[in-house]
């Protein structure tokens, strides 16, 4: 298992690419580098994992940055 944070060059690159393409969380007019790095680190963490054997979840209440614009915002 890779320790998250040990080498995040690929995640930094992915964050830059995400920002240039205006993909979430860069779809809003604000600096979302920290949010983008979180989602890229999560993607790296689950990249080589059998999710049926080791389930992961990305849980947030931040629907503005991590959901589709005008998407489903279900109530609790």
pLDDT higher than threshold 60 for residue 4: no
How many CB atoms neighbour CB 34 within 10 A?
10
Would you say the C-alpha torsion 11, 51, 70, 61 has a positive or negative sign? negative
Tell me: the pLDDT tens digits for 15-65?
778 777 777 776 666 667 777 788 888 888 899 899 999 999 888 887 777
Q: Is 45 exposed, middle or buried (0-12, 13-18, 19+ CB in 10 A)?
A: middle
Domain chopping of the chain, boundaries: 9-66
pLDDT higher than threshold 60 for residue 3: no
pTM for the whole structure: 0.59
Residue 67, phi then psi, degrees to nearest 5: -130, 165
């Amino acid at each position: 298992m890779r320790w998250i944070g040990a080498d995040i060059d690929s995640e930094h690159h992915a964050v830059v690419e995400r920002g240039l393409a205006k993909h979430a969380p860069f779809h809003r007019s604000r600096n979302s580098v920290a949010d983008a790095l979180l989602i890229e680190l999560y993607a790296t963490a689950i990249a080589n994992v059998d999710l049926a054997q080791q389930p992961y979840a990305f849980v947030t209440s931040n629907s503005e940055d991590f959901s589709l614009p005008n998407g489903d915002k279900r109530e609790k």
